[in-house]
Structure 1
Amino acid sequence: MQEIGSFEQWLDISANEQRLLLFVKTDHCSVCEGLYPQVAELMEEYPFPFYKVNAAQVPEMAGQLSLFTAPVVLLFYKGKETARFARFVQMDQLTHRMNELVEWGEDHV
């Protein structure tokens, strides 16, 4: 998973990637540490990039994306958020929404 180091980097990525997953974590978060490997394992199954950001290191991300907890998994399509999973993420729901993202054609949204 590629790490985002600044809000400006995020703006560039979100403007240029058609589909993406963003994993948001913070410092000293045991739930984040437990969820990360499960989400990272999905990278091999999906044809879009996965990114991660530590909201404690890039606080602008938390403010601009209205993030109030961690971990948060966000799915984006054409620069727009299409799904948000926060704190205790049910993997079956996440994969369902990721499958929808794969199926969407160029005419969607």
Structure 2
Amino acid sequence: MKQIASFEEWVETIKLKNELLLFVKTNNCSVCDGLYPQVEVLKVDYPIPFYQVNIAQVPEIAGQLSLFTAPVVLLFYGGKEYTRFARFVRIEELKQRLAEVIERGKQD
């Protein structure tokens, strides 16, 4: 996953990408560390950009996206939030939402 290092980089990324997944983590988060590999492996089957941000390093993103916990997986389509999974992510449901976003992208 590509790392988002600043709020400005995030703003530019969301402007340029029609669809993307954002994995939000924080420091010393065992749930984040356990979930990350499960989400990262999905890149192989779902051809959309995957990004990661550590909200301890870029706290502005947490405020702008109303993030109150970690991990959070956000799926964006058309520059807007399509769906959000917080804390405990059901991988099968995430796969369904990824497939929906890819299908919508094909229809546009």
- Shorter-chain TM range is over 0.9
> Partner residue of 1:68?
68
**1:96-107 map, 5 Å:** 96-104=96-104, 105-106=107-108
Normalized against structure 2, the TM-score is what? Answer: 0.97
> Partner residue of 1:25?
25
1:19-64 CA-to-partner distances (Å, cap 9, x unmatched) read: 1000000000000000000000001111110000000000000000
> Partner residue of 2:56?
56
Sequence identity percentage: 61
Distance (Å, rounded) in 2 between the aligned partners of 1:23 and 1:47: 16
> Partner residue of 1:81?
81
Q: Which amino acid aligns with 2:14?
A: S
1:60-83 CA-to-partner distances (Å, cap 9, x unmatched) read: 000000000000000001110000
Q: Which amino acid aligns with 1:16?
A: L
Distance (Å, rounded) in 1 between the aligned partners of 2:35 and 2:16: 27
Task: Give the secondary structure class of the aligned counterpart of 1:37.
Answer: helix
> Partner residue of 2:12?
12
Structure 1 stretches of at least 4 aligned residues deviating more than 2 Å after TM superposition: none
Task: Give the secondary structure class of the aligned counterpart of 2:82.
Answer: strand
Query: Cα offset for 1:17?
Result: 0.3
Runs of 5+ unmatched residues, structure 2: none
Runs of 5+ unmatched residues, structure 1: none
User: Please, what is the CA RMSD of the aligned residues?
Assistant: 0.5
> Partner residue of 2:40?
40
